[in-house]
Amino acid sequence: MWEDSHNILGGKWSLEFPKSAHKQTDPRLDEVWLEVLLCLIGEGFNEFGQEICGAVVNIRSKGDRISVWTADANKSVANLRIGEILKMRTRYERQLKYEAHETSQRIAKHKEHLYTLLASRPPNHKPTRRSCVF
């Protein structure tokens, strides 16, 4: 998606759904995908919706993924709020990770995440620019 001129400076939030030992899809995948779509068409991202370029679901053998693409990875307030809304509306229980497209192009195997919304607050956690707990 970063080939699109509207999204070249952007990034994506990724919601990952690992497959079971029997390669079964997580039963919540359809429910979460539907909620993402409803947020997109129903203005669920409030004033930050204009920063979203699109969403995609990838079905793969190792695990499935839903990604929500944003226009500018440098707009930290908008990107963090979009992530917070995603986590809240989908009730996603795992870590939610944001990655800039330039990072995913440069480093395919060792990804650097700009932001991570943690599943739960670890002991003695001190929030930083790169992590928030909800």
Indicate whether 2 belongs to any domain: no
Instruction: Please report which confidence band the pLDDT of residue 2 belongs to, taking 50, 70 and 90 as the band edges.
Output: low
Indicate whether 43 belongs to any domain: yes
Q: Above 50 in pLDDT, residue 133?
A: no
Structure tokens, 36: 């993402």
Indicate whether 3 belongs to any domain: no
Question: What's the structural domain count of the chain?
Answer: 1
Indicate whether 4 belongs to any domain: no
CB 11 within 8 A of CB 68: no
Indicate whether 30 belongs to any domain: yes
Indicate whether 6 belongs to any domain: no
- CATH number (domain holding residue 129): 3.30.760.10
77-101 tens-digit pLDDT = 999 999 999 999 999 999 999 999 8
